[in-house]
Amino acid sequence: MSMPASKRPSGNVTARRGSPLKLRIELVPKRLWGRNLRSNYGLGKQRWDKFRHKLIESNGARCAICGNTKKKLHGHEVWDYREKKTVGTAVLLRVEIVCIDCHDIHHWARTTKLFQGGRITSERYGLLRKHYRKINRCRQADIDRHFLHSLRIWSRQSKKRWKIDWGDFELPIAEAKATREAWAARNPDHPLIRHSAHTTWTG
């Protein structure tokens, strides 16, 4: 039997029946923004795109969360944030193929910011909220409760210093870096060298 929202422990984000949420809001701590596989801290865009396309093919071109095969598919990095008092280690567990709707919900802070800035329509924002309710079989209020909970975690995690454990990607990243460094050594005056560690907003 599920407890009323007011009696649930604040750290316990579950669907109404008490099972873990199928579609979660997963905010990236601020100091880790841009530290992803797509960036030059990781594989770099070209290798990331190649890897993502292969993964989409091998997964039958369907969303790992809602099963959608019609929508645009993205590669979503699933991280485990292992925290100590002032520091932490972000461990990359796997990359999941998810549809654009599920992905926009994973990064709900970014989605909400885009909506507030007029770059996502209220119709689309409403459809995403509906998608969250449908997949998690929960109520409208649950997404707001989950978002506030995620923001509290994000705020705590954003104050910490992080080390990254790239897991199974350690070796391909080392290879990608070696290739980039060799190229940079051959092209010292290329403008891309000065912008090679560009970041992207992933929260």
Catalog residues that contact Zn ion under the rule CB under 5 A.
63, 65-66, 68, 99, 102
Nearer of residues 102 and 173 to Zn ion, judged by Cβ: 102
Instruction: Copy the structure tokens of residue 114.
Output: 């885009």
In the complex, minimum distance from the CB of residue 95 to Zn ion, in angstroms, rounded to a whole number:
15
Contacts for 3 with CB less than 8 Å, ≥ 6 apart: none
Nearer of residues 68 and 196 to Zn ion, judged by Cβ: 68
In the complex, minimum distance from the CB of residue 64 to Zn ion, in angstroms, rounded to a whole number:
8
In the complex, minimum distance from the CB of residue 122 to Zn ion, in angstroms, rounded to a whole number:
21
Please report the sign of the dihedral spanned by the C-alpha atoms of residue 163, residue 164, residue 167, residue 170.
negative
Our measurement of the distance from residue 192's CA atom to the centroid of its chain's CA atoms, rounded to an integer in Å, reads 26
Decide: 202 and 34 in contact? Cβ < 8 Å. yes
In the complex, minimum distance from the CB of residue 39 to Zn ion, in angstroms, rounded to a whole number:
24
Please report the sign of the dihedral spanned by the C-alpha atoms of residue 113, residue 114, residue 116, residue 120.
negative
Q: What is the crossing angle of helices 140-158 and 122-136, to 10°?
A: 100
Question: In 3-state terms, what secondary structure has residue 176?
Answer: helix
* C-beta atoms surrounding 190 within 10 Å: 12
Question: In 3-state terms, what secondary structure has residue 83?
Answer: strand
Nearer of residues 22 and 113 to Zn ion, judged by Cβ: 22
Nearer of residues 102 and 128 to Zn ion, judged by Cβ: 102
Nearer of residues 43 and 99 to Zn ion, judged by Cβ: 99
In the complex, minimum distance from the CB of residue 112 to Zn ion, in angstroms, rounded to a whole number:
18
Instruction: Copy the structure tokens of residue 163.
Output: 């080390």
In the complex, minimum distance from the CB of residue 120 to Zn ion, in angstroms, rounded to a whole number:
17
Contacts for 34 with CB less than 8 Å, ≥ 6 apart: 41, 198, 199, 200, 201, 202
Nearer of residues 62 and 177 to Zn ion, judged by Cβ: 62
